[in-house]
Structure 1
Amino acid sequence: MNELVKDKKVLITGASSGIGKYLAIHVAREGGIPILVARSADRLAIIKEKIEAVFSVPCYWYKADLSNDAEWKDVIDQICYDHGSIDGLINNAGMAVFDLVSEAKWQDIDRMLSINVKSLFRTTHQLLPHFLQQGRGHIVNIASQAGKIATPKSSVYAATKHAVIGFTNGLRMEVESQGVYVTSVNLGPVRTNFFNQADPTGAYEKAVDRFMLDPNKVAAEVVGHLFTQQREINMPGWMNSGSKMYSLAPAFLEKAMERQFNKK
């Protein structure tokens, strides 16, 4: 059991499946208290029941549509009222629709901006005063390697993750001297239902299948760094090395990797 996580209340968005579900399990395994948020009340109720039965720790859940700012603000207020202090926040909720900008539907663009960026800003903005007042806390933002290297058909998604990384880096410098840790998690493709919506054809998922990360391993890595001064978590490592090369020679990489970049 990780003493840094034990008895800590950790709010996890997008917690009904994929990485979010495993984050909840690993927080509970380390003795922490997961507070789960997602749209699917049925799934959250099942996760709560299993976590409490297996790990003997309290687990709480709240239904919310994070694309609805007014609704999400009210739910955050309710969480703060119910629990008093929150120790950690993992902004995990996110979605994508891969499409050429010229062919994209505005509602898809708007929803990506609302969930990936605005709701993350909203949650952080409302909880940050609590962390600063406590003089402690940890904010973990699930970003993406797409936030470092944009590719065709992911222009909007990449832009949202660029925003998350920029926000995370700036916020870190604002609050690090006040006891609040801020970490970005930059992931390559993860084997979850994320791609059911991002690319319903299944072509991209099939093309990158052998590179896909295990969501359980991702969650274990993230929880293993909770309440530590970890600036970034990058998975897989080789993809992060590619992003560093891209920052040095973008035109060369775009030409050399043109075929791979156009697999969506």
Structure 2
Amino acid sequence: MSDSLRNKVVVVTGASSGIGRSIALESAGRGATLILLARRQEKLAEIAAEARELSGSEAFAFATDLGDADQIEASFQKIVKSVSHIDYLVNAAGFGKFASFMDSDMADAANMFQVDVLGLMYLTRLVGRVMMDQRSGQIVNFGSIAGKVPTVKSAAYSAAKAAVIQFSNVLRLELKPFGVKVMTVNPGPVYTNFFNVADQSGEYLKNVQEFVLDPDDVAWQVVHYFGSNKRELNLPLSLAAAAKLYGLFPTIGDYLSLQFASRK
């Protein structure tokens, strides 16, 4: 584990807000060179400027829609022209929408998979090849506790995050011989703009306040484990325990989820 990221290059997706922004600034505070990816160029430029002040190192901002493979490819080409190596890739971009599956719009489900799963996989494949050639690096993929513990009105989102978790598990095995590490981060609810889209009523966030995480706290823990062999980080501890218990006692877990966890 490393407290200093001086001379390290960190690529962060979803860097314009929320957890991605917090991870970018936490990394900058430890001296990292940053590559920031998100859709909003103006916001990215502001965060890049803040990162340079913190780190004394360079920060690059490349506007990228993670749902568009052509844009991902174009940004990757800019990355490899800007830096000579990549030490960490943090795939924090993603969104969700809460709705009963039978009443939901399948276009929303398709978009979720395009950004949360396929976009993540596409960029990981490009950056992963660089890390394989280096024979070093770490990929950090954001899943979710929702990918482990089912709750109502999150079928498509939970499926997307479960896909990220299992993708990461297999990728970890495939990249281990090349010295490349893979860690999955599975947070519960976090105070970010995510809920402006996912839960427009505001009721869910209000109902789960005791579990809601601060994005800066999540970022500190993620960056703390940069360079480690940790395979999975589940947050908070109460929900991490719930996820373990669900795997052991799924029938009881379904009952408890319906009674206490499905508060959307």
Would you call these one fold, judging by a TM-score over 0.5? Answer: yes
Encode CA deviations 1:177-217: one digit per residue, 9 max, x unaligned.
Answer: 32111000011100111100001011101111221001001
Work out the CA distance in 2 between the residues paired with 1:189 and 1:224: 20
1:154 — aligned with what? 154
SS of 1:112's equivalent in the other structure is helix
1:215 aligns to 2:222 (yes or no): no
Equivalent residue of 1:257, what SS?
helix
Cα displacement (A) at 1:87: 1.3
Separation in 1, partners of 2:86, 2:222? 18
* Cα offset, 1:3, TM superposition: 5.6
- Separation in 2, partners of 1:256, 1:205: 19
Match of 1:65? Answer: 65
The TM-score, its normalising length taken from structure 1, stands at 0.96
Which aligned runs of 4 or more in structure 1 are off by greater than 4 angstroms? 1-4
Map Cα deviations across residues 109-135 of structure 1 (whole Å, 9 max, x no partner): 111001100011001111111101101
Counterpart residue type for residue 107 of structure 1: A
State the distance in 2 between where 1:205 and 1:225 align. Answer: 28
Q: Is the 8 A contact 1:5 1:226 kept in 2?
A: no
Q: Matched residues in 2 for 1:166 and 1:77: separation?
A: 28
Separation (CA, whole Å) in 2 of partners of 1:18 and 1:211: 17
Measure the CA separation in 2 of the matches of 1:81 and 1:189: 37
Q: Check conservation: 1:35, 1:59, Cα contact below 8 A.
A: yes
SS at match of 2:169: helix
Which residue is 1:17 aligned to? 17
Q: How does 1:1-264 map to 2 (within 5 A)?
A: 2=2, 5-264=5-264
Measure, in 2, the Cα distance between the counterparts of 1:179 and 1:65. Answer: 29
CA distance in 1, matches of 2:2, 2:60: 20
Percent same amino acid at aligned positions? 36
3-state secondary structure, aligned to 1:201 = coil
Query: Match of 2:36, SS?
Result: strand
- C-alpha distance in 2, partners of 1:208/1:79? 39
Amino acid at match of 2:90: I
- AA at the equivalent of 2:163: A
In structure 2, runs of 5+ residues without a counterpart are: none
Summarize deviations over 1:123-177 as a string: whole Å, max 9, x none.
1111111101101000000110111112111011000111011011111111113
- Rounded Cα–Cα distance in structure 2 between residues aligned with 1:256 and 1:46: 44
Shift of 1:252: 1.1
State how far apart, in whole Å, the 1-side matches of 2:8 and 2:196 are.
33
TM-score by length of 2: 0.96
Unaligned runs of 5+ in 1: none
Give the Cα–Cα distance (whole angstroms) in 1 for the partners of residues 139 and 219 of structure 2: 15
SS in 1 for 2:35: strand
2:123 partner letter: T
Where 1:44 maps in the other structure, the secondary structure is helix
Q: Which amino acid aligns with 1:211?
A: F
Give the whole-Å Cα distance in 2 for the aligned partners of 1:128 and 1:37. 16
